[in-house]
Chains A and B, each alone.
Chain A
Amino acid sequence: MSAADSLGGAAPLIDVHAHFFHAATPRGDWAQLNASRLAAGRRIGITYHVASVLGSWGATSPTYFQSSRDTVTGNDVMYDVQAAHPDRVRAYVAVNPNDAAFAIDEIDRGVARGAVGLKLAAARRCDDPLLDAVIERAARHRLPVLHHIWQHRRRHWPAQDISDGADLAVLAARHPAVSFILAHIGGGGDYHHTFAAVGDVPNIFLDLSGSGIDRGMLDDALAAVGSGRLLWGGDITLCTGLAKLWALEHVGLDDDALADVRWRTAARIFPPGAFPSLPSVAHA
């Protein structure tokens, strides 16, 4: 399929929130899932999938509280996927910050293997000072940080030590030179709380992914942070990603702003050279 025939249009498109699976996970259909993501990506016209593997996805340690061994295994799988698809896939290094020394070493190892971003999930609430050393190491490598978020954390949720937009705003204020990607505004919870919490935090970018396709969500996200702080993504439902991509054509963006959301802002906040097939941009 040529770019001109893509469901999502011919312009560059970066999915900042993707995942891959592997054999040592509970998903017996892991290879099919990976193949389906890449096939759908071709049909949508995704230029780069920026992806992570969260350990063993629960097989031998919890998805959001991954063991060190599973962290290494999962990241190695991710680097292998990147190596197998160098023109289409980029890797996050995913770490559990509770063992900060290990996490820092894993970030260094990840960058050496080509990781372009840091993925943090829900092993520790993100306003905890424990994260500072991990974020400082990401900053040293100029990595943006994609942080899993529950939109408005009103209570604890099972199987995760969840953070919300207000928590991420605390962390982002402590590290103003780091770009934080607030995960999946459509991924569960009250996104309006998020918009209010991070509207005036310039180093937090909103990733549009998640299964939620509420009408008004895109308009309100745009009103809260502007087109320059929105990033397109799919996460685990590329159909809703495509729906939101189409809907972006109707929220009042001009071509320039739409390009920012599709790829240009991502290209600015990831390290220089992360997306070699795309035009160069001024970096954050």
Chain B
Amino acid sequence: MTSPTAARPRAPVPLDCNAYIGAFPFRHVPHPDPDVLVRVLAREGIASAWVGHLPSAFHRDPTAGNAELVRALAPYAPVLRPAPVVRPDWPGWRAALAQLVAAGAPAIRAYPQLWGMAAGDERMAALAEACARAPCALLLTVRFEDLRQRHPLDVAPDLSAAHVRELARAGAGGRLVVTAAGREFIEEVHWGLTPIEREAVLYDFSWVWGPPTDELAVLFRAIGSARFVYGTMWPLRLTQGARANLALLPDDLADAPLADLSQW
């Protein structure tokens, strides 16, 4: 069939910082496989992705899932780079972090809200500090699904803005990348930090809306487009979401630069 739409603004996008492979426990996700992801990235004009292992988010011990992730992505390097999980309450986590960074992980995913860690938990601050020294980014996920559709067993709370503020205030010096945050969350974090602390935090806009409320434009104007990175949340969400959001920005923001994490 002919393709009736053509617009692909800003292509190529250097990095999708928020992709996964693997199954989601609460609903079927079609073919969440690395070969499919590589094809989707090419179609969307995205050069590379930081890729997490979706099942590991829900495992007690992420070790096996991390190994599976690294193995699965190896044939697709450097397009796909692993973003494995490190639990800072798990024995041997510092050694695991070192091994994963040595294996090429540019970012580490952590899910304090799934591990029962409150905002300000010192173990998360220790992980942030270790990531800063590694160096690698620390990737946080506010949510996986819309609250209104969750499975009855999916009762873990969303990541709170306080979690992020506390980590940024801890001053580890690393980079925090917050994915799937909405406008209010982002504003609450950003304006709750000092100008220096703000520099540590980046956000994807996979959960920020465009017109008619124009929340992405509001955020770009208020806190700057340089605080944002490109993230799609594939395979849970359509990759076209981030592209559509940028395409619908007002003309004066059409070329607003995003932060570039691709060299991490």
Q: Which residues on A are within 8 Å of B, measured CB to CB?
A: 6-11, 32-34, 36-37, 39-40, 43-44, 150-151, 154, 188-192, 211-216, 219, 236-240, 242-247, 249, 253-255, 258
Contacts and interface: CB of A to CB of B under 8 A. Distances in A.
Contact of A189 (B149, B152, B241): B149
Contact of A242 (B3, B145, B247): B247
A6 B28 CA distance: 33
A247 B240 contact: yes
Contact of A40 (B7, B146, B212): B212
B211 A37 contact: yes
Contact of A192 (B7, B27, B211): B27
A255 B212 contact: no
A216 B145 CA distance: 13
Q: Please provide the 8 A-B residue pairs with the shortest distance between their CB atoms, ordered closest to farther.
A: A239-B210, A9-B4, A188-B148, A40-B211, A242-B244, A36-B212, A243-B240, A37-B212
A253 B240 CA distance: 17
A211 to B, nearest CB: 7
Interface in B240-254: 240-241, 243-245, 247-248
10 contacts: A36-B212, A43-B248, A188-B149, A190-B149, A212-B146, A213-B237, A238-B248, A243-B238, A243-B244, A244-B238
B213 interface: yes
Contact of B212 (A154, A188, A236, A240): A236
B5 interface: yes
A214 B236 CA distance: 6
Contact of B149 (A151, A213, A242, A253): A151
Nearest to A151: B149
B236 A255 contact: no
B4 A249 contact: yes
Given A243-B240, A243-B241, A247-B238, A254 B4 contact: no
A33 B212 contact: yes
Interface residues of B, number: 35
A215 B5 contact: no
Given A39-B211, A192-B27, A246 B146 contact: no
Contacts of A8: 4-5
B213 A246 contact: no
B2 A255 contact: yes
Nearest to B146: A212
A133 to B, nearest CB: 31
Given A213-B237, A243-B244, 15 more contacts: A7-B5, A36-B212, A36-B214, A40-B212, A154-B152, A189-B148, A192-B27, A216-B28, A236-B213, A239-B210, A239-B211, A242-B244, A243-B238, A249-B1, A253-B1
B214, B234, B245 — most chain A CB neighbours (10 Å): B214
Contacts of B243: 243, 246
Contacts of A238: 210-212, 248
Given A151-B149, A189-B148, A214 B237 contact: yes
Interface in B111-162: 145-146, 148-149, 152
Nearest to B5: A9
B240 A258 contact: no
A40 B210 contact: yes
B255 to A, nearest CB: 16
B30 interface: yes
B256 interface: no
Contacts of A245: 5
Contacts of B28: 216
Interface in B1-50: 1-7, 27-30
B93 interface: no
B212 to A, nearest CB: 4
Contacts of B214: 32, 36
Nearest to A245: B5
A246 B240 contact: yes
Nearest to B247: A7
A249 B241 contact: no
B205 to A, nearest CB: 10
Contacts of B7: 7
B235 interface: yes
A249 B209 contact: no
Given A211-B146, A212-B149, A236-B212, A249 B238 contact: no
Contacts of B209: 211, 236-237, 239-240
Given A7-B5, A40-B248, A34 B212 contact: yes
A33 B148 CA distance: 25
Contacts of A216: 27-30
A32 B234 CA distance: 32
